[in-house]
Structure 1
Amino acid sequence: MNTVRKMLESIYYRSPSVIKNILVTLHQLYASSKWKGKDYDDDLIFYRKNGKKIQQELELIQLIQLRKLLEESLQFVDFYKQFYPLSKNYDFSSDEQLMAFYYQLPVIEKKTFRTELNKFVNNNPRRKTVFYNKTSGTTGSPMTSPFDKASLIKSFSTWRRFYDFIGLPDRFKTIRFSGKIIVNPHAVTPPFWVEDYSNRRLFLSSYHLKAEYMMHYLEKINEYKPHMIEGYPSAIFIIAKYGQKNNFKLSFKPMAISTTAETLYEEQREVIESFFGCKVYNQYASSEGSPLITECTCGHLHLNIDTGFFEFAHKGKDDSGWDIAEMTVTSFRNLKTPLIRYKIGDLVQLSADGPETGCNCGSNFPYIRGVIGREDDLLFTREKGMIGRMDTAYKGLEGIEKSQILQISENEFVVKMVINADYNVVVKKKFDKNLRERLGNDITIKMETVEDIPLSSNGKFRAVVRLFKLN
């Protein structure tokens, strides 16, 4: 099988650009045939109506969907069948008893879900697998999540509602950066992109973002004139920063930038918004089908509670005074492999009272203050405690093209940097001062200049990595 796959990849990589585009378009048409149709239209109406409901109605919808999910899982999911006798002690028609039973269920670790996936598959004969979402995972650990048709429909209809919220029309042109390898990774000449004609979508490679190729990217973006650019914030930031530095003038303005899959830092937001002349909207989900968190026009990150249930375990406060909490989620978006009290491993910023309500954007979904990312994206020193964001340490510094902070121990840091001719001793001293202001003085910082900092196996860039576990 691997031999056949390699042979097909080789043929694809050697094909002319137009043939690649046709193949990608055919693949996308086939993929969309698995979820497009009347059921999708009905789901989209349901989710669009939810977006206008008051909070009490949304909470009722959340409970109704949770009840359905638990009832089906107790009957058809091997892992949850063991809790069926316990469930008979609770009256699910009572919201209080439903939640009492829910909190009796164990929290599922990501590693357990990954290594014992078969136990979590929904064997309801109505839920035939139509799609496998495969990813290497943030830390390189592979994850495969089966989806049935209903789950794909829920995913695409809730994404479409997000596009409604940020003002996109029914049909729009998109440029997307993701971890998919769409052109030969060893290619040294453009095109570093392929086009899906059917969905008016241009896929740009995240693996060729070198200085010598930047102008090709910028010229293609300018030629394509998308309504929206979406994908990894690190990739979009690299493009925007290069364009800004080299005074590249766009002849159009996108309606929106949508970032996902990585932590979005404030410096990245500022540079991207400045260069492209439009707002950046951050959003959070996961390849295994977690509930959605989406940014609104007011800049708040709304918990889409009709896509799942959110629990927050307090971990402490960050250096800005916000509460840091670890998320455990239950999702209504993947019914084939249900995520019930799933410890997804990501941290968020909250007010002391938890999620807030009453956003001026008009949405009645509760909102949080920020998504930090994985727990090992959070730094810790005895002097400063937990440190959630380090992007401000780079503000105003010239000469640093790319950087990664590695925390080896509580008082030992290594900073890898890709630098240019603007980097000098003054910048180095200022950077060291900025780091110590945020991390504390009783630490050692080793700065290393490198030619490049590789992406992870799924195409993501990790700006901060803590290499030890917190007690």
Structure 2
Amino acid sequence: MKILQRLYCIFPNFIQNIFITWFNIMAYKKRYGGKYKYYKKMFFNNRNLSKEELLKIQKNRYVAFLKLTVLKSEYYKKNLLKIEDFNKIETIEKLPFLSKEILRSNVDKINTITKNKGIISKTGGTTGKSLEVLFTHDNMQERFAMLDDFRDRQGYKLGERTAWFSGKSILTSRDLKKCRYWKTDYFYRVRYYSTFHIHHHNLIYYIKDLIKFRPKFFVGFPSTMFDIAKYGINNGLQFPNGMLKAIFPTAETINKEMREVIESYFHCKMYNQYASSEGAPFIFECKYGILHLELQSGVFEVLDEYNNPSQSGRLVVTSFTSEGTPLIRYDIGDSITLEDESKSCQCGNNNPLVKEILGRIDDFIYSPEVGKINLGNVSNTLKDTKGILKFQAIQNSLSKLILKIVIDKKIYNKKIEKNFIQNWRDRIGNSMELEVQYVDDISVEQSGKFRLVKNNIKHLLNV
């Protein structure tokens, strides 16, 4: 692999694009071969099943998944067989939780297959520690079939021109000198735009190339799309109306401001979806902007701080497509709010409704004076401000908060600074020290994701 990487860096741009194309063809054989077409047809046929029918499928899949896991996983054989009726969905609360740390420490015993028989998936490690899990080939094909069925509902077809914003490290020093921040898959017609170089000095090149490339779909990190859209709006750069058919964000939580800015600038609706690189079950947004749990993909438990079922709280998942590294009552670290059970959606999807995906539980600031300030309240500190291109809140101690800010010097002024700081004071109180650092840029994580909050003191808290 290192030899291939060295050769890739030596090749001219055209050959590098061929290399990207070849790599995708090899990867897509695994994703779209085998039972992919069978699963795709199944999910298409199941689109309008009643809630009762969906619950029956969920129950049957749960029983089969638990039986298979206990048969093949050393960890679960030891921990589940001693529990009476361990494979009945009605008694799921009897099963132990699987935390990220337990998964990381016991993954070899949890795995049901070896690496040479599975497909390796690595988490980004945005919390500081990466994780490696295994998918069976069937599970990987089923997950892509489910994901493609969701996108197909919004007009997407594999092979249509797509701009992809993800954490692929694919650029060379020659690309940077030429202000070329992308590589292209010629066969599937996907252009991969680097999320590691989203600096306001570079964004003009992204916009110009997007307009030249004329994609029909956007896929990838919404924070990158948001930065591009804000730059376009602030600099009067028009994006062609009618070019895009749909935008599919991945990997990050979307807030109201991000959605409004992205949809208004690119003249296109965004369709949200929730999953994870570890293999969490899916949540999909329909054409009416309503989020639906996908009961065919797993079990979703929403729990309060006392581990009781709740309308809003932390999300614990059991995923039917994680047979390689089984996820049973996996405490994934995110939180959601469910919609009232009496409500339904006119789109025809009868899966339960989700009111809001609240995002990562551990992305918060803690004030000794006020308590937890969640991600939504952090993002809302931009209210009544202009000229702030990007910011990041970093907490390394209980008594101090660091704010890194990238500004547009033509717009930003002392009055805006005062409003921004006051917004923070309204949330954290007056006792914490607040240090503002003006910087030229804020780096993304190794995964290519941007973290709005970096809380480095969670180990000191009992919240």
TM (normalized to structure 1)? 0.89
Determine whether 1:433 maps to 2:428. Answer: no
8 A contact 1:21–1:196 mirrored in 2:
yes
Query: Is 1:287 aligned with 2:287?
Result: no
Matches of 1:211 and 1:160, distance apart in 2: 33
Matches within 5 A, 1:225-374: 225-251=214-240, 252-315=242-305, 324-350=312-338, 357-374=343-360
Aligned twin of 2:440 = 451
Q: Match of 1:309, as an amino acid?
A: V
Say if 2:384 and 2:419, in contact at 8 Å, map to a contact too: no
Structure 1 residue identity aligned to 2:85: Y
5 Å matches for 1:71-90?
Answer: 71-83=67-79, 85-86=81-82, 89-90=84-85
Written as runs of structure 1 = structure 2, the 5 A alignment for 1:18-417 is: 18-37=14-33, 39-83=35-79, 85-86=81-82, 89-90=84-85, 97-100=88-91, 102-123=92-113, 129-169=117-157, 171-184=159-172, 187-251=176-240, 252-315=242-305, 324-350=312-338, 357-381=343-367, 382-383=369-370, 386-389=373-376, 390-408=378-396, 412-417=400-405
Q: Who is 1:319 aligned against?
A: none
What residue identity is the alignment partner of 1:398?
Answer: K
**Which runs of no fewer than 5 residues in structure 1 stay unpaired?**
317-321
Q: Could you give the per-residue CA deviations for residues 278-323 of structure 1, whole angstroms, max 9, x where no partner exists?
A: 112222111111111122223222211111111112249xxxxx96
- For 2:404 and 2:312, the matched residues in 1 are separated by 27
**SS of structure 1 residue aligned to 2:30:** coil
The amino acid across from 1:99 in the alignment is E
Read off the aligned partner of 1:133 and give its amino acid letter: S
Segment drifting more, 253-262 vs 170-179: 170-179
User: Are the structure 2 counterparts of residues 344 and 385 from structure 1 closer, same or farther at C-alpha, using a change threshold of 3 Å?
Assistant: closer
Q: Which residue identity does 2:345 align to in structure 1?
A: C
CA deviations over 1:77-135 (Å, ceiling 9, x no partner): 11111256436x5396xxxx4432x3332111111212321111114x9x972421123
Residue 330 of structure 1 deviates from its aligned partner by 0.6
Secondary structure of 1:90's counterpart equals: coil
Q: Is the 8 A contact 1:140 1:456 kept in 2?
A: no
Do the aligned residues in 1 keep the contact of 2:71 with 2:77 (CA within 8 Å)? yes
The structural deviation recorded for 1:169 is 4.3
The 1:140/1:304 distance shift into structure 2, 3 A limit, reads: same
Whether contact under 8 Å (2:373, 2:427) holds in the other structure is no
Kindly state the Cα deviation for residue 434 of structure 1 after the two structures are TM-superposed.
2.1
Deviation at 1:42, TM superposition (A): 1.0
Distance in 1 between residues matched to 2:123 and 2:166, nearest whole Å: 12
Structure 1 residue 380 displacement after superposition: 4.2
In the aligned structure 2, how far is the partner of 1:461 from the partner of 1:53?
A: 38
d(CA) in 2 for partners of 1:404, 1:276: 25
Pairwise CA RMSD of aligned residues?
2.5
Deviation at 1:231, TM superposition (A): 0.8
- Quick check: 1:315–1:324 contact (8 Å CA) kept in 2? no
Q: Is the 8 A contact 2:118 2:324 kept in 1?
A: no
For 1:256, the aligned partner's letter is A
Stretches of structure 2 that go unaligned for 5 or more consecutive residues are: none
Give 1:61's aligned amino acid: I
Distance in 1 between the 2:95 and 2:173 partners? 45
CA distance in 2, matches of 1:398, 1:35: 44
CA offsets per residue over residues 137-195 of structure 1, 9 Å max, x none?
22231211222210111111011111023333465221111111011268332322111
Identical pairs, percent: 33
1: CA distance between counterparts of 2:278 and 2:81? Answer: 28
Mapped partners of 1:195, 1:454: distance in 2: 24
Q: Distance in 2 between matches of 1:189 and 1:10?
A: 20
Q: Using the TM superposition, give the Cα deviation of residue 269 of structure 1 relative to its aligned residue in structure 2, in angstroms.
A: 1.4
Find 2:9's aligned residue among 8, 13, 18.
13
Counting matched residue pairs gives 452
Cα distance change, pair 140–380 in 1 and its aligned pair in 2 (3 A): closer
Distance 2:343 2:146 in 1: 20
- Give 1:254 deviation, angstroms: 0.8
- Secondary structure of the corresponding residue to residue 59 of structure 2: helix
Once residues 44 and 358 of structure 1 are traced to their aligned partners in structure 2, the CA distance between those partners, rounded to angstroms, is 25
SS in 1 for 2:31: coil
Whole-angstrom CA distance in 1 between matches of 2:364 and 2:35? 41
Q: How far has the Cα of 1:241 moved from its partner?
A: 1.0
CA distance in 1, matches of 2:49, 2:251: 28
Query: 2: distance between equivalents of 1:400 and 1:178?
Result: 24
Cα offset for 1:239? Answer: 1.0
Provide the rounded CA distance (Å) in 2 between the counterparts of 1:140 and 1:385: 21
Tell whether the 8 Å contact from 1:34 to 1:130 is kept in structure 2 after alignment: no
Question: 2:136, 2:235 → 1: CA distance?
Answer: 47
